[in-house]
Structure 1
Amino acid sequence: MTVFREPESPASPSSSSAAPRARRRQLLPRPVLDAVAGAVSGGVARVVVSPLDVIKIRFQVQLEPIHTPHAAGPAASLAGAGRAAAMAAAGAARASKSKYTGLVQAAREILREEGVQGFWRGTVPGLLLVMPYTAIQFVVIHRFKSLMTGSHRTEDHKQLRPELSFVGGSVAGIAATVGSYPFDLLRTVLASQGEPKVYSGMRAACAGIVRERGVRGLFAGLAPTIVEIIPYAGLQFGLYDGFKRQLAHYNWSRSKAYHDLPVSLAHSTHPPSPSPPSTAPSLSQPPSPSPSSSAASPVLPAAVERRVSSTPSPGHLTPWQQFLCGLAAGTLAKVACHPLDVVKKRFQVEGLLRHPRYGARIQPRAYRGMIDAIRKIVATEGVEGLYKGALPSVIKAAPSAAITFFVYELVSKFLEEISAKEM
């Protein structure tokens, strides 16, 4: 298997001269460490970005077009039996005005009607979703990378190719989704209902879903969720590892250039003097310093010294660089997969009660499958219907991914240090 090898530091000592290090044994099992770090990182990210998540969900489950639809109705594209309810809902949607029309307007509306707490609606099921989700995800991805590289050391996992990180992220995403899905459904239902509430809390929502759709209703939309999570989680981990690898190589190149800088400055500042005539050395005069000794300790300008000292360690990333890698990976993954997220949300709230103030209710069995759902959304709401809530979704996904990766790296490193025991 082809793996990426980090270049050695130009200033690192050779293996023969390196001081022997004490062997260290990890007291905390690696799966437990990954689970704790993943749960903490997911919980922190969830609380921080909850307002944007609430706004995103309100847009995604809103049937009414945000912009005026085309004059041509969807009747031509909605042919066949069993479409009467969908056409009726589409007619009602065209006749009514959408409640939320923009990011700022939606934020003001939620604040006016529900108060500040409205932005954290569904936080409890959201935490119950995201904490086990990220815990499972990081346990599985670490196990996958260990199998691919043949090593449990995190440092060795940096050698894994980004495409294998994509596969590992997809596998981890599927496992995490299946293991925590009912909480995802409850989070969506509670965050989308607004005021006045249809369900007073998690217990009422769970009982209502089971009463209206049976126990299987707690897994409504699981299939489109898995279809969405495969590219989304894969892109997140694949891009994150790829960006980290590129930045590590950039840091190495930059560090190597700065370490070579003193020598080049020495040669330019202290040019070698011409050799004196061959005469016997005088015992009364000390020998003049050779050019090589002059170049050994050049005097650098203060600005250059500051730049050399602030250069990241070769092959390593600063916390700020890790944060930026997560930010970029989360943004690109969400932009690519947002339409699938809209379809998933529609299946999750399909047939459930909804206060008329928040728009038309999605009728039971309104969609026969993912392709049918995409076709009907485009027919009744236009192509832009697949991108409802895209702005808050991307604004939410970018810092969420950045915070998740950043806090995970921080917590896992902390747990590794406190649980390591010298042997």
Structure 2
Amino acid sequence: MSAKSGERLKDEGTQLQVTAAGATAGVISRFVIAPLDVVKIRLQLQTHSLSDPLSVRPLPPNSPIYKGTFPTLLSIFRSEGLTGLWKGNLPAELLYLCYFAIQFTTYRQTTLLLHSTLGESTLPPSLESFISGAVAGATGTTATYPLDLLRTRFAAQGNDRVYSGFLPAIRQIYHQESYKGFFRGLAPALGQIIPFMGTFFTVYETLRPNLSKLELPYSSGGALAGTIASVTAKTGTFPLDLVRKRIQVQGPTRKRYVHKNIPEYTHGTFGTMKEIVKREGVRGLYRGLTVSLVKAAPASAVTIWTYERTLKFYAGLGDRGVKGI
């Protein structure tokens, strides 16, 4: 693949258009996959399972046992109503709005910086995409991490409401845990997002030129490339995502979430991974992987599909605006 063939995502449109298109894609994608995201978080935080002998032990009262994606969806709906499937949607929408805008903008700017400092054809396209994707993912994750933590905590609470609302949650976390409470789990988040985004954009930019030529009935080639890229990257980095979720719900409210027996983890990212393996076996690091992969397909497809068309729309508005002057 030539350097020119991989530049459309990064260089098409102005910076404002790229930012607006990325933000729009993030918001729409988040709303569509919100119920699956809640299911994933509930499964990731579950340390017990009827099918796992290591986890069979007396459970605290009212601790649910989730088994599978659709049974978990049904269980949440029955016990918490339809709104239970969209718990944490406000911080999540803000997260996706800000994250995708920052991600796409940083990806574009990092690539342009590489071109200006090293030259357009100096780096192999796959390496260029990996570097730009990793920088974009790390920047977006760090800037929006408090929203990610809030999303997880809201999704983790059952009928016993730990936080009464978005702003009260911010005040309560700051009062009880100081500003550091908003960044619990940032280390595994960065450890996951750098290889995830690097792999995602590398696979995406590699597949997109050929897949874009395909005429698909319900999807674009770009959306298909995005789906394959997301599934590939997510599978490889999933244990770090699970560790991040477990650390995010640490603190004074740890025993008040829907799972009452979340262990206390005090030994950092790798210490937490070791403890999970010791308590739950290796399979404990992959709780929620199935729904995560199920979620990855529509999320990536909607994100890339919306991004490409929104960017064209904004670019069209800009062209008409220029012509009208």
Equivalent residue number for residue 41 of structure 1: 25
Larger mean Cα displacement after TM superposition, 58-67 or 120-129: 58-67
Equivalent residue number for residue 185 of structure 1: 149
The answer on whether the counterparts of 2:13 and 2:311 sit within 8 Å (CA) in structure 1 is no
Equivalent residue number for residue 333 of structure 1: 233
SS at match of 1:94: coil
Equivalent residue number for residue 361 of structure 1: 262
Deviations 1:38-91 (A, max 9, x none): 100000000000000000000111222453334xxxxxxxxxxxxxxxxxxx8x
Equivalent residue number for residue 21 of structure 1: none
The two structures, once aligned, show a CA RMSD in angstroms of 2.7
Take 1:356 and 1:136, find their aligned partners in 2: how far apart are those partners? Answer: 31
The answer on whether the counterparts of 1:64 and 1:98 sit within 8 Å (CA) in structure 2 is no
Unaligned ranges ≥5, structure 2: 6-11
Residue correspondence of structure 1 range 123-162 to structure 2 within 5 A: 123-150=89-116, 161-162=125-126
Matched, 1:94 2:78: no
Take 1:204 and 1:149, find their aligned partners in 2: how far apart are those partners? Answer: 45
Deviations 1:316-366 (A, max 9, x none): xx9621111111111111111111100010111112424375331333xx2
Take 1:352 and 1:62, find their aligned partners in 2: how far apart are those partners? Answer: 18
Amino acid at match of 1:145: T
Equivalent residue number for residue 191 of structure 2: 227
Offset at 1:118?
0.9
Equivalent residue number for residue 375 of structure 1: 274
Larger mean Cα displacement after TM superposition, 200-209 or 321-330: 200-209
% same residue? 35
User: TM-score, normalised to structure 1's length?
Assistant: 0.67
The answer on whether the counterparts of 2:162 and 2:257 sit within 8 Å (CA) in structure 1 is no
Match of 1:350 among 250, 275, 291: 250
Residue correspondence of structure 1 range 105-120 to structure 2 within 5 A: 105-120=71-86
The answer on whether the counterparts of 1:190 and 1:205 sit within 8 Å (CA) in structure 2 is no
Amino acid at match of 1:177: T
Match of 1:59 among 43, 46, 52: 43
The answer on whether the counterparts of 2:133 and 2:200 sit within 8 Å (CA) in structure 1 is yes
Equivalent residue number for residue 299 of structure 2: 400
Equivalent residue number for residue 243 of structure 1: 207
Take 1:41 and 1:160, find their aligned partners in 2: how far apart are those partners? Answer: 28
Take 2:294 and 2:136, find their aligned partners in 1: how far apart are those partners? Answer: 24
Take 2:25 and 2:258, find their aligned partners in 1: how far apart are those partners? Answer: 36
The answer on whether the counterparts of 1:167 and 1:234 sit within 8 Å (CA) in structure 2 is yes
Match of 1:324 among 220, 224, 231: 224
The answer on whether the counterparts of 1:140 and 1:172 sit within 8 Å (CA) in structure 2 is yes
Take 1:352 and 1:401, find their aligned partners in 2: how far apart are those partners? Answer: 35
Residue correspondence of structure 1 range 12-23 to structure 2 within 5 A: none
Offset at 1:174?
0.7
Aligned length: 307
Amino acid at match of 2:95: L
Deviations 1:360-411 (A, max 9, x none): 1333xx2311111110000001111100111111111221112111111111
Unaligned ranges ≥5, structure 1: 7-27, 71-89, 252-310, 313-317
Take 2:263 and 2:163, find their aligned partners in 1: how far apart are those partners? Answer: 17
Take 1:356 and 1:43, find their aligned partners in 2: how far apart are those partners? Answer: 26
Take 1:327 and 1:95, find their aligned partners in 2: how far apart are those partners? Answer: 40
Take 1:102 and 1:204, find their aligned partners in 2: how far apart are those partners? Answer: 33
Offset at 1:197?
1.3
The answer on whether the counterparts of 1:189 and 1:205 sit within 8 Å (CA) in structure 2 is no
Sort the Cα spacing of 1:356 and 1:238 in 2 relative to 1 into closer, same or farther, 3 A.
Answer: closer
Sort the Cα spacing of 1:391 and 1:203 in 2 relative to 1 into closer, same or farther, 3 A.
Answer: same
Larger mean Cα displacement after TM superposition, 104-113 or 47-56: 104-113
Amino acid at match of 1:216: K
Larger radius of gyration: 1
SS at match of 1:63: coil
User: TM-score, normalised to structure 2's length?
Assistant: 0.87
Higher helix proportion: 2
